[in-house]
């Protein structure tokens, strides 16, 4: 059995293809979403998932999250005094936990997986994902682009005509737009764009600011200590507005109640300013693919925040059509991964689904622009490879020296989309010496600059002075270091020797972590009450009596639920 895995930034899921359909596999807590969070407990053992997530607030120093953003980088995460992990190793711990859930569910060992990755992941990040799988004892049968997985979950790969789909993925803090084209059985990424500071959180922030504006005291300093509580209220309000026409936020500070009831229509109005921010990357992707909105065959929504009616309305207005929404947006990618796993297992047609990569950014050089005779503006970006060009690619541009008396030219190489190079990212530089034959008339000398970019994220710069045949070369590797097989084996041993909390204790750990999080969040009387509750619960756990523990679990859950519902401040 090959399992399908959505290895997400906030949550991960595992699913299988069984009896002709995709089935999501629950973890030991009975949930299909496993938070991509890892924490080290006080006895040095490792927690993965919900119990680790609860510890983000109470034990931030011992807990790591959002490590997917650092896949393929050399960043090290220190967890407590004794543990240090790379993003690959942390991802391997999440994968191990999903693998264990699948094995418990299937009652047999699992060794193979299809894993999804963002479309914009470069080869290093893809390789890092494969390394993580290997460390977890999984062999990757295929890496599947997340938007392609989403499109497959909607069955779009079964259409036989030339179809174009737009996949919009709105998570907590990022918005990814991908344009896919299915052409005689081949699914191509035609363009990708996005905004990695736009997400569900922006809607929560609008509610926080809206609440403060309604109050008598709108002074930011007054609200500063209560922002974390207000955030919780706003998040709950946002979720309520997903299925109700109005919702209320309330907070009591030093016996004074503060409330605000907001209607769906008012929320929509407040969200208007986000409209343009959503529009920009969508427009960019469609324009880069040289398409028009009306040529799109389908629009698919993925990511928790696409549940919001206000977001759906914005998209319907922008795209002039209703997006496909009949799947749970948290589960769509995992379902696509399971479908792909099924097809790989049957060795069926989807072998034909080849994915084409595109260069995610424009790459070019620093130039000077003559704005009037003998007057130059420097630091202007001249792109050579434009973003969303299908790779591998090789492009050449011809440049001329600016001054006749120049004896050398320095080419500074940049990536980005800004007009001025200072706003882009510098990748490297290459200096060339001009031939003596052109002293005093350098401006007439054509210099050819060729950029070649491959699927491994390798940029090769070749500079050639055609008249003399002098050539210069520079290879720029996209950042990350490759792990050797030995290093992967070492990490695998390191992870195998860690003490992982047993699956059968996952629920107790998660309850304890939740109580500790509430303790960290609350103050005063509630803290005293929680401290007593935690002390009592720990003593029950120490008894190791399964029946007593089961009873205590239900009691403490009730108390914690009540505490979270009531806002006693």
Q: Show the tokens assigned to 432.
A: 């060339």
Query: Which of the stretches 188-196, 303-311, 349-357, 510-518 binds ligand AMP when contact is defined by CB under 6 A?
Result: 303-311
201 vs 366 by CB, closer to ligand AMP:
201
Q: From the CB of 35, what's the least distance to ligand AMP, in Å? A: 9
312 in contact with ligand AMP (CB under 6 A): no
Query: Which of the stretches 106-114, 135-143, 302-310, 447-455 binds ligand AMP when contact is defined by CB under 6 A?
Result: 302-310
Q: Show the tokens assigned to 261.
A: 């009831």
* Half-sphere exposure for 340 (CA within 13 Å, toward CB): 35
Cα separation of 86 and 63, whole Å? 13
Q: From the CB of 171, what's the least distance to ligand AMP, in Å? A: 3
User: What residues are labeled active site?
Assistant: 6, 68, 146, 169
166-185 residues in contact with ligand AMP (CB under 6 A) are: 171-172
194 vs 304 by CB, closer to ligand AMP:
304
Q: From the CB of 413, what's the least distance to ligand AMP, in Å? A: 34
Q: From the CB of 310, what's the least distance to ligand AMP, in Å? A: 9
For residues 58 and 516, is the Cβ–Cβ distance under 8 A?
yes
Q: Show the tokens assigned to 351.
A: 């072998």
150 vs 533 by CB, closer to ligand AMP:
150
304 in contact with ligand AMP (CB under 6 A): yes
172 vs 323 by CB, closer to ligand AMP:
172
Binding mask 209-248 for ligand AMP (x = CB under 6 A): --------------------------x--xx--x------
> Scanning the structure block, which residue is given the tokens 């529009």?
279
307 in contact with ligand AMP (CB under 6 A): yes
For residues 412 and 381, is the Cβ–Cβ distance under 8 A?
no
- Report the DSSP beta bridge partners of residue 396: 450
211 vs 381 by CB, closer to ligand AMP:
211
Cα separation of 517 and 526, whole Å? 12
68 vs 83 by CB, closer to ligand AMP:
68
Q: From the CB of 286, what's the least distance to ligand AMP, in Å? A: 23
438-497 residues in contact with ligand AMP (CB under 6 A) are: none
**Strand 163-170 to 298-302 pairing:** parallel
Cα separation of 87 and 99, whole Å? 18
Q: From the CB of 32, what's the least distance to ligand AMP, in Å? A: 12
Q: From the CB of 100, what's the least distance to ligand AMP, in Å? A: 22
Q: From the CB of 195, what's the least distance to ligand AMP, in Å? A: 14
Query: Which of the stretches 304-312, 355-363, 480-488, 511-519 binds ligand AMP when contact is defined by CB under 6 A?
Result: 304-312
Binding-residue total with ligand AMP (CB under 6 A): 16
80 vs 323 by CB, closer to ligand AMP:
323
Q: For residue 434, what is the DSSP state?
A: P
262 vs 305 by CB, closer to ligand AMP:
305
* Half-sphere exposure for 46 (CA within 13 Å, toward CB): 23
| Burial category of 454 from C-beta neighbours within 10 Å (exposed 0-12, middle 13-18, buried 19 and up) | middle
Beta strands in 171-244 (DSSP E): 175-183, 186-195
For residues 189 and 178, is the Cβ–Cβ distance under 8 A?
yes
Residue from 308, 334, 384, 432 touching ligand AMP (CB under 6 A): that is: 308
Q: From the CB of 175, what's the least distance to ligand AMP, in Å? A: 11
Mutual angle of helices 274-288 and 309-319, in 10-degree steps:
50
HEC secondary structure over 449-510: EEEEECCCCEEEEEEEECCCCEEEEEEEECCCCCCCHHHHHHHHHHHHCCCECCHHHHHHHH
* Half-sphere exposure for 407 (CA within 13 Å, toward CB): 1
201 in contact with ligand AMP (CB under 6 A): yes
Q: From the CB of 277, what's the least distance to ligand AMP, in Å? A: 15
Residue from 49, 303, 342, 457 touching ligand AMP (CB under 6 A): that is: 303
249 vs 476 by CB, closer to ligand AMP:
249
Query: Which of the stretches 108-116, 219-227, 299-307, 384-392 binds ligand AMP when contact is defined by CB under 6 A?
Result: 299-307
Sign, Cα dihedral of 54, 60, 64, 68? positive
3-state helix, strand and coil shares in percent for the chain, rounded to the nearest 5: 40, 30, 30
The CA R_g of the chain, rounded to the nearest whole Å, is 27
35 in contact with ligand AMP (CB under 6 A): no
263 vs 378 by CB, closer to ligand AMP:
263
Angle 538-542-548 (CA atoms, 0-180°, nearest 5)? 85
Q: Which residue is nearest to ligand AMP (CB)?
A: 200
Residue from 11, 28, 340, 415 touching ligand AMP (CB under 6 A): that is: 11
Beta strands in 296-446 (DSSP E): 298-302, 363-372, 375-385, 393-399, 408-415, 425-433
Residue 395 Cα distances to 362, 453, 454, 462, 505, angstroms: 12, 9, 12, 10, 58
For residues 111 and 136, is the Cβ–Cβ distance under 8 A?
no
Binding mask 344-363 for ligand AMP (x = CB under 6 A): --------------------
Q: Which residues bind ligand AMP (CB under 6 A)?
A: 10-11, 171-172, 199-201, 235, 238-239, 242, 303-305, 307-308
């Amino acid at each position: 059995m090959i399992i399908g895995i959505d290895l997400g930034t906030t949550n991960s899921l595992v699913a299988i293809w069984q009896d002709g359909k995709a089935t999501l596999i629950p973890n030991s807590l009975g949930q299909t979403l496993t938070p991509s969070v890892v924490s080290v407990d006080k006895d040095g053992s490792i927690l993965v998932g919900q119990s680790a997530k609860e510890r983000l607030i109470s034990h931030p120093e011992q807990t790591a999250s959002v490590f997917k953003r650092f896949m393929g980088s050399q960043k090290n995460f220190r967890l407590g005094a004794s543990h240090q992990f790379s993003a690959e190793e942390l991802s391997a711990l999440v994968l191990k936990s999903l693998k264990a859930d699948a094995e418990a569910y299937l009652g047999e060992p699992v060794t193979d997986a299809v894993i999804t990755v963002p479309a914009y992941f470069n080869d290093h990040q893809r390789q890092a994902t494969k390394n993580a799988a290997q460390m977890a004892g999984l062999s990757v049968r295929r890496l599947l682009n997340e938007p392609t997985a989403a499109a497959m979950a909607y069955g779009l790969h079964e259409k036989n005509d030339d179809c174009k789909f737009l996949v919009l993925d709105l998570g907590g803090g990022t918005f990814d737009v991908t344009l896919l084209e299915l052409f005689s059985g081949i699914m191509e990424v035609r363009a990708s764009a996005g905004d990695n500071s736009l997400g569900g959180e922006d809607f929560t922030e609008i509610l926080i600011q809206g609440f403060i504006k309604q109050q008598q005291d709108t002074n930011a300093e007054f609200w500063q200590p209560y922002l974390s509580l207000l955030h919780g209220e706003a998040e709950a309000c946002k979720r309520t507005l997903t299925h109700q026409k109005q919702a209320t936020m309330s907070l009591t500070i030093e016996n004074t109640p503060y409330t605000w009831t907001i209607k769906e229509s008012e929320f929509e109005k407040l969200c208007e300013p986000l409209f343009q921010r959503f529009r920009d990357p969508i427009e960019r992707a469609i324009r880069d693919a040289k398409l028009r909105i009306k040529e799109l065959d389908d629009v698919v929504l993925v990511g928790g925040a696409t549940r919001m009616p206000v977001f759906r309305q914005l998209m319907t207005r922008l795209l002039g059509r209703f997006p496909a929404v009949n799947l749970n947006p948290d589960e769509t990618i995992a379902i696509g991964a399971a479908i792909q796993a099924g097809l790989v297992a049957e060795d069926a047609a989807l072998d034909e689904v080849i994915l084409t990569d595109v260069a995610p950014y424009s790459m070019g050089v620093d130039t000077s622009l003559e704005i009037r005779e003998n007057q130059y503006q420097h630091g202007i970006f001249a792109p050579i490879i434009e973003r969303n060009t299908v790779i591998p690619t090789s492009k050449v541009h011809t440049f001329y020296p600016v001054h006749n008396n120049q004896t050398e030219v320095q080419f500074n190489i940049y990536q980005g989309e800004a007009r001025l190079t200072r706003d882009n990212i510098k990748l490297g530089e290459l200096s060339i010496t001009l031939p003596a034959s052109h002293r005093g008339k350098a401006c007439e000398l054509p210099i050819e600059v060729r950029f070649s970019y491959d699927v491994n994220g390798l940029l090769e710069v070749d500079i050639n002075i055609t008249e003399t045949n002098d050539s210069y070369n520079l290879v720029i590797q996209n950042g990350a270091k490759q792990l050797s097989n030995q290093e992967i084996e070492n990490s695998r041993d390191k992870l195998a020797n860690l003490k992982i909390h047993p699956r059968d204790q996952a629920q107790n750990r998660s309850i304890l972590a939740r109580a500790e999080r509430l303790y960290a969040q609350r103050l005063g009387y509630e803290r005293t009450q929680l401290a007593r509750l935690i002390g009592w619960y720990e003593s029950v756990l120490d008894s190791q009596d399964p029946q007593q523990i089961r009873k205590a679990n239900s009691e403490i859950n009730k108390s914690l639920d009540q505490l979270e519902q009531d806002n006693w401040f």
